[in-house]
Amino acid sequence: MNGACLPPVPSGGDPTAALAAALELVARGTDQLRAAMEVEWEAPAARLYRAEVGDAVRAVARELGLLEEAMRRAAEYLAAGGAG
């Protein structure tokens, strides 16, 4: 464990705050993954690696879409409940 995953604390009934943090982390992770594809090594293993990281970038980008959808629903949920 590198320490980036310290258990966050519930934010007092507002799921959008946690989801926003999740979105930010996934966006940053996606950027890091894209950067990780740059390897100055022309070995077969590096080619396999680039291809697989490319697949991972696309897969994680899809999660971004799902998180954005969850964020939208959470905002609606809060609006309907009247709490912020």
What's the closest the beta carbon of residue 64 comes to other proteins, in angstroms?
10
- Picking from 17, 20, 16, the residue whose alpha carbon sits closest to that of residue 28 is 20
Confirm or reject binding of residue 9 to other proteins (CB under 8 A): yes
Confirm or reject binding of residue 61 to other proteins (CB under 8 A): no
- Contact residues: other proteins, CB under 8 A: 2-19, 21-26, 28-30, 32-33, 35-41, 43-49, 52-53, 56, 59-60, 63, 66-67, 69-70, 73-74, 76-78, 80-83
